[in-house]
């Protein structure tokens, strides 16, 4: 458990599977119908190229061309990006309550998420959750992705914070381990996590 009385420090949240819940079946259906292939399975082309997309090594047309295994023009890629963003748009109600609680306490909060550049642009313009945070730090525009230590160092510099003053919440063990190695306090967020209790709220 993170031993936190950090209203004078920072809470650094991952986005997917922490702020956002798992994608709904209907959203996968819409994306797969448009793509003309199954994408949700763990071994699909959607996931095979995802880290490169998140890390900014692929732009949207290049990523979707790799996923669909055929050329994809920018207009089609934009439509697919919109459907992809829809996958990750549903709030996790447990985290939403924690965000409200932290906001009411005047806590400092930021996001550090592996996210493609276009998706980050859409969320920055339209996301329900962005107003909770002082900083939104996304991998795609930086061309750096967790668990690369450099993206955590960038986040610390952006927040003007020491590692020991930050609690980092993420669903992936490798990202948690990388943050802990730099001295951040961490919470590994899973389906069984009582995040309010972990944060001492």
pLDDT of residue 115: 98
76-89 average pLDDT score: 98
Q: How confident is the model at residue 7 (pLDDT cuts 50, 70, 90)?
A: low
Using one digit for the tens of pLDDT, what is the confidence trace for 118-143? 999 999 999 999 999 999 999 999 99
* DSSP string for 67-135: HHTS---HHHHHHHHHHHHHHT-SB-HHHHHHHHHHHHTT-EEEEEE---HHHHHHHHHH-TTGGG-SE
Angle at 62 between CA 56 and CA 66, to 5 degrees: 110
DSSP helix/strand/coil, 182: coil
pLDDT above 70 (res 95): yes
Q: How many residues does the chain have?
A: 201
pTM for this structure? Answer: 0.94
Q: Can you name the residues that pair with 167 across neighbouring β-strands?
A: 11, 185
Using one digit for the tens of pLDDT, what is the confidence trace for 140-163? 999 999 999 999 999 999 999 999
DSSP helix/strand/coil, 9: coil
Report d(CA 201, CA 196) in Å as an integer.
5
pLDDT above 50 (res 3): no
pLDDT above 60 (res 1): no
Cα pseudo-dihedral 43, 149, 179, 104, rounded to 10:
-100
Report d(CA 33, CA 69) in Å as an integer.
16
């Amino acid at each position: 458990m993170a031993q936190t009385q950090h209203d004078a420090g920072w809470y650094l949240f991952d986005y997917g599977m922490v702020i956002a819940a798992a994608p709904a079946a209907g959203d996968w259906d819409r994306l797969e119908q448009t793509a003309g292939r199954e994408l949700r399975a763990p071994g699909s082309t959607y996931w095979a190229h995802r880290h490169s997309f998140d890390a900014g090594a692929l732009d949207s047309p290049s990523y979707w061309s790799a996923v669909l295994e055929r050329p994809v023009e920018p207009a089609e890629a934009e439509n697919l990006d919109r459907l992809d963003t829809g996958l990750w748009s549903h709030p996790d109600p447990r985290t939403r309550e924690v965000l409200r609680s932290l906001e009411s306490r005047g806590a400092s909060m930021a996001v550090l998420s592996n996210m493609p550049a276009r998706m980050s642009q859409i969320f920055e313009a339209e996301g329900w959750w962005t107003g909770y945070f002082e900083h939104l730090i996304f991998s795609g525009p930086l061309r750096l992705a967790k668990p690369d230590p450099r993206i955590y160092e960038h986040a610390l510099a952006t927040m003007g914070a020491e590692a020991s003053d930050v609690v980092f919440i993420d669903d992936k063990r490798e990202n948690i381990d990388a943050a802990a190695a730099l001295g951040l306090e961490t919470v590994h967020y899973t389906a069984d996590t009582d995040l309010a209790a972990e944060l001492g709220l």
